[in-house]
Structure 1
């Protein structure tokens, strides 16, 4: 693969079905355009139907022939996750690529509809449930299907606090975010191990991260906490350090389509400190490969979501 891989190198995706969570803005919006340009039918999974419809218009402004479906998905509500998966199964039956992309970052403590800490609930539990509920559809793909789970370089600061996973005894917004992003990789790698042990070679699980990309993600935490200083700092950092959302989407697109990607790979920018640059295979933290933590997280996730992966 080229050291300067771009979305133009993606293969023809005509006839394939792709789900992108958080498709209405940022990385998800850019990825949706790229998938659509290559002929895929993209299901844009968005929490807000209004913002989703606006994003669909934006995609079609740039890709007039885009084949799109809008799906309502609130990852903070497991009932919504189930409803989305049921609707997808009814309409499509088979799935070629699932991009677990949506997320929240460093927000004040909030809880999901089922009472779990919001960052862990949205970033990990919602996507764990979604993947499990769409697992049969992934296996119905006519070729290899891929589950691409979006993590972050911040996962390197993360530790799993199973004694206080919801931050009830002490909450730090950045520690909670790092834990949720570490959870993403523990899940991605454990899923691949379970696929391997079950002899399921038609589904591949891959992790990725976007580096530092300028999106709305950085703005929400400061806005929710009412911190004008943090908001100003984020704006400066986005302007000076960050790469574009289009560049930030490349690791996810590479993980989803490049022919040299294997199960258990981790894809991210290969430039300045992993924050910028073209995508390639990179290394994640030692803790992300902790198989005991991964199994413990898997059991906890099944218990909380009520979703068990069929083998």
Structure 2
């Protein structure tokens, strides 16, 4: 069952956005794809956007494109961040805290997917889990107090892959040393992100903190997510099928923009496209599988995540 009635039959669209003057949004992975389109939507309403990207050259080109569209006064800049390197996360967070006094929302948009062969980060994590979960886990922790000061939000961009693959966190072999597959490792990384988000919701509520945590997914969107990491057959398959089964990157960005700005959203919910197995269509509340709300696994994952970034410090 899907729920779109909250926003009508057309679902949520950026037409609901009011003025965002005075607001600051931080987006990981914002120089292309959904992150870039989210940046455009927010700039359209007068917000300030800080991109946190790995590639400085591509970031400069993206900013130039945005300034051509919105004018040289467009308030968009860049902090270098490599989520695969925890020292880079620490350095980027420090730079951000030194230069950005207010964070109204941190949008955890960056991801890698379908890495063809097992790769480990410099900190020893399977690359998809390292980038998608551990890097964002550390970044959220380092920026949390600044976000709370603004009574802001943390938006975690998950994926329908969370309910596919092994449908669990493989604590006994997180890196898939025994039997690596690109799909199972990706599915685990997105489940980990979502488990973290819902556990963070619980901890924020228990501590009486003032940060909203929202979870969304982009559905099937035509982005370059697979270009750098997927196997050649997977790239070819996506190139052939995406024009028919996927929506634009712009529409893929709408759930994260909604979760960063909309006032009427619920905790312990998942927002995204609601049609054709939640791959496209109006943006609203989607079914949420109970496995994402498994508190025992989430607590274990949280403890493991804290230990991992502490050991690497």
TM-score range, shorter chain: over 0.9
Q: Which residue number in structure 2 is paired with residue 114 of structure 1?
A: 123
Per-residue CA distance 1:163-214 (angstroms, 9 max, x = gap): 00111222111000000000111011000000011111x2011110000001
- What are the equivalent positions in structure 2 for 1:94-109 lying under 5 Å apart? 94-107=102-115, 108-109=117-118
Q: CA deviation at 1:221?
A: 3.0
Contact 1:267 1:282 in 2 (8 A): yes
Q: Quick one: distance in 2 between partners of 1:35 and 1:113? A: 34
Report 1 or 2 for greater relative contact order, CA contacts < 8 Å, sequence distance ≥ 6: 2
Deviations 1:3-45 (A, max 9, x none): 4221121121111111100001101000011111111110011
Partner Cα separation in structure 2 for residue 152 and residue 302 of structure 1: 23
* Residue ranges of structure 1 left out of the alignment (5+ in a row): none
Contact 1:205 1:264 in 2 (8 A): no
Residue by residue over 1:38-65, the C-alpha shift from the partner in whole angstroms, topping out at 9 and shown as x without a partner, is 1111001110100110111122232224
**SS of 2:213 mapped into structure 1:** strand
8 Å CA contact 1:219, 1:234 repeated in 2: no
Q: CA RMSD in A?
A: 1.3
The one of 86, 96, 108 equivalent to 1:78 is 86
Q: 1:220–1:232: structure 2 CA closer, same or farther, 3 Å change rule?
A: same
Following superposition of structure 1 onto structure 2, how do residues 76-155 of structure 1 map, counting pairs within 5 Å? 76-107=84-115, 108-141=117-150, 144-155=151-162
Could you tell me which residue of structure 1 aligns to residue 42 of structure 2? Answer: 35
Partner residue of 2:218? 210
SS in 2 for 1:111: coil
SS at match of 1:174: helix
Match of 2:53 among 46, 66, 85: 46
| TM-aligned CA deviation for residue 257 of structure 1 | 0.9
Secondary structure, aligned partner of 1:133: helix
Q: Specify which of 190, 193, 207 is matched with residue 202 of structure 2.
A: 193
**8 A Cα contact 1:37 1:66, kept in partner:** no
What is the aligned counterpart of 1:167 among 176, 179, 193? 176
Q: Is 1:69 paired with 2:77?
A: yes
Deviation by residue 1:195-240 (Cα, 9 ceiling, x = unmatched): 011111x201111000000100133333xx4x2x332211012111
Tell me, in whole angstroms, the C-alpha distance in 1 between the residues paired with 2:197 and 2:139.
13
- 1:267 alignment counterpart: 271
* Structure 1 counterpart SS, 2:137: helix
2:189 aligned residue:
180
Q: CA deviation at 1:272?
A: 1.8
Please list the CA deviations of residues 112-158 of structure 1 after superposition, one character each: whole Å capped at 9, or x if unmatched. 121111000000000000000001111111xx311000110111113
- Distance in 2, matches of 1:125 and 1:218, equals 20
User: Structure 1-normalised TM-score?
Assistant: 0.93
Q: Paired residues, what number?
A: 300
Partner SS state of residue 23, structure 1: coil
Between the aligned partners of 2:54 and 2:229, the Cα distance in structure 1 is: 18
**Aligned to 2:301, what secondary structure does the other structure show?**
helix
SS for the counterpart of 1:294 is helix
Conservation of the 8 A alpha-carbon contact between 1:250 and 1:278 = no
